[in-house]
Structure 1
Amino acid sequence: MQKIWVCGARGQIGQAVNDVVDKLEFEMLDTDVDDLDVTDTDEVLRFGEMNRPDIIINCSGMTDISSCEENPSQAFKVNALGARNLAIVAAKMQAKMVQLSTDDVFDGKSTEPYTEFDITNPGTVYGKSKLAGENYVKEFTTKHFIVRSTWVYGKGQNFINGFLKKVDAGEQLSIASDQFGSPTSANELARFLLHLVHTSEYGTYHATNKGVCSRYAFAQEILKMTGKTASMQPVPTVMSDFSKVRPAYAVLDNFIMSMVPIYDFPDWQDSLREYLEERGLYHAE
């Protein structure tokens, strides 16, 4: 039985991996910030040598964009040096490594979806630190999968949960109409990761649900599927209640997957319905 080390196991994607994995196929080694400090090289090496994982999935990270701007040294320590440490272990153990990354490695100024071959140009500390993590993984281990996604939602803090909390509180909402992305289910992303580690198709991947919408259209679909109503208006990002530091255009093209048919993501509306059904929030008209 192969061992998967999920670092950042209590985050959205870490939890999703544990929810969808076949426990008869893999032994799970789950750690999070309280169990292991990814920025401590010796601690990471000790854990790796003691447990000898076959696959490392790095879901850990400092993801709060505002916190990253306020404390860039900590952002780079966690998002870049943490990834480096795990990559060193992966190389030493000859393990496959999955590094989770983000659309924030781009500046969001494009009007066309970003492919894996487009030049990165992060405008935020978060994006810069995640790109540095990608580069360390490329530098230190060859058997790697770098997976960029966007607008991910699952168990934990995300746009859907924050939005519904405000809706239930009866708040008047201002939602960005000039932000575009592909809402992506953490469960669907986890299924892709577990499929990917069975292959030797190493490299960088964009992995999102199919389809594109504005943040406002996403909110409208959530209301429609949950049967809830809210006082909501479309506004520019600077006036929005959510995501003020996000790139405006966060659309990733799953270009490699279109050439190498590894996996087929469903439409974002289908995954949203599945997510809301699992939480008992879906109410069909």
Structure 2
Amino acid sequence: MIKIWITGANGQIGTAINEVLDPLEAEIFNTDKEELDITDTEEVLNFGEMNRPDVIINCAGIVDLNLCEKEPELAYRVNALGARNLSLVARKVGSKMVQLSTDDVFDGLSKTPYSEFDDTNPKTVYGRSKRAGENYVKEFTHKHFVVRSNWVYGRGNNFVNKVLEAAKNQTPLALASDQFGSPTSAKDLARLILHLIKTNEYGTYHATCQGMCSRYEFAQEILKAAGKEVEMKAVPTKESDLSYARPAYAVLDNFILRIIDLYQMPEWKESLQEYMNEREEG
């Protein structure tokens, strides 16, 4: 039975991996900051050596952009040094390592989707700290999968749930019509990760649902799928609600997945519909 250690297990992607995993196929070690501090090198090494996981999936991270700007040391400690510590364990016990990353490693100035071969140029502390984490993983482990995604939603605090909350309270929304990305379900990302770890196709991957839209169009589709309405207007990012100073153009091209014919992500509207159906059932 494969042993999988998931850090940041209570977050959107960690939760989704646990939902998608067959408990009969794997022994799972779930840790979040309450159980284990990934910034504490000794603690991480002790846990890793004691449990000897076959795979480490690092879903832990400081993702709040404003918090990263206010507390850069915290951002680098968790997003970069945390990844380094887990990489050291992976190398020591021979684990495969999955590092979750982000479109924020790019500057958002492109007019065409970013491939894995495009140069990174992060403009935020969050993006720079995540790139530093990627670099540590690449430096310390050879059996690694760096998985970049964007506009991820699942259980927890995210754009989809904020739009639905606004609709419930009939709070008018002003949403960015000049921010573009590919909404990606945490569950679809989890399915891809579980597929990847069964392979030896190591490297960096872009993994988003297919298609792209603006934040405004995304919100329209959320409301349509939920059968709800709220007053909305399309505005530039600086006048918008629920958006931060993220890359204006965050569209990733799943280039490697495509050229090695490894896995095909679903279309974003289909995934959103699946998520909405599950919300209603739950």
Counterpart in 2 of 1:7? 7
Counterpart in 1 of 2:32? 32
Output the TM-score relative to the length of structure 1.
0.98
Counterpart in 1 of 2:230? 230
**Local SS of the residue matching 1:83:** helix
Counterpart in 1 of 2:98? 98
**Local SS of the residue matching 1:280:** helix
Q: Tell me, which stretches of 5 or more residues in structure 1 are unaligned?
A: none
Output the TM-score relative to the length of structure 2.
0.99
Say if 2:262 is the partner of 1:262.
Answer: yes
Per-residue deviation, residues 14-50 of structure 1 (Å, max 9, x unmatched) = 0000000111111000000000000000000000011
Counterpart in 1 of 2:88? 88
**Local SS of the residue matching 2:262:** coil
Aligned-partner Cα distance in 1 for 2:62–2:148: 15
Matched to 1:167, the amino acid is: A
CA root-mean-square deviation: 0.9
Aligned-partner Cα distance in 2 for 1:166–1:258: 37
Say if 2:49 is the partner of 1:45.
Answer: no
Any conservation in 2 of the 1:174–1:241 contact (CA below 8 Å)?
yes
Residues 155-166 of structure 1: matches in 2 within 5 Å?
155-166=155-166
Say if 2:219 is the partner of 1:199.
Answer: no
Aligned-partner Cα distance in 1 for 2:212–2:99: 24
Matched to 2:165, the amino acid is: K
Any conservation in 2 of the 1:103–1:149 contact (CA below 8 Å)?
yes
Per-residue deviation, residues 68-92 of structure 1 (Å, max 9, x unmatched) = 0000010000000000000000000
Matched to 2:41, the amino acid is: T
State the 1:223 CA deviation.
1.0
Q: Tell me, which stretches of 5 or more residues in structure 2 are unaligned?
A: none
Aligned-partner Cα distance in 2 for 1:225–1:7: 32
Any conservation in 2 of the 1:39–1:85 contact (CA below 8 Å)?
yes
Aligned-partner Cα distance in 2 for 1:82–1:250: 25
Aligned-partner Cα distance in 1 for 2:276–2:98: 27
**Local SS of the residue matching 1:249:** coil
Counterpart in 2 of 1:252? 252
State the 1:12 CA deviation.
0.2
Any conservation in 2 of the 1:75–1:129 contact (CA below 8 Å)?
yes
Any conservation in 2 of the 1:8–1:32 contact (CA below 8 Å)?
yes
Matched to 2:120, the amino acid is: T
Counterpart in 1 of 2:134? 134
Counterpart in 1 of 2:143? 143
Any conservation in 2 of the 1:226–1:281 contact (CA below 8 Å)?
no
**Local SS of the residue matching 1:262:** coil
Aligned-partner Cα distance in 2 for 1:223–1:242: 15
Any conservation in 1 of the 2:166–2:230 contact (CA below 8 Å)?
no
Counterpart in 1 of 2:278? 278
Aligned-partner Cα distance in 1 for 2:259–2:272: 26
State the 1:193 CA deviation.
0.1
**Local SS of the residue matching 1:242:** coil
Aligned-partner Cα distance in 2 for 1:99–1:191: 15
Aligned-partner Cα distance in 1 for 2:200–2:69: 36
List, as ranges, runs of 4+ consecutive aligned residues in structure 1 with deviation greater than 4 Å. Answer: none
Matched to 1:62, the amino acid is: I
Any conservation in 1 of the 2:149–2:208 contact (CA below 8 Å)?
yes
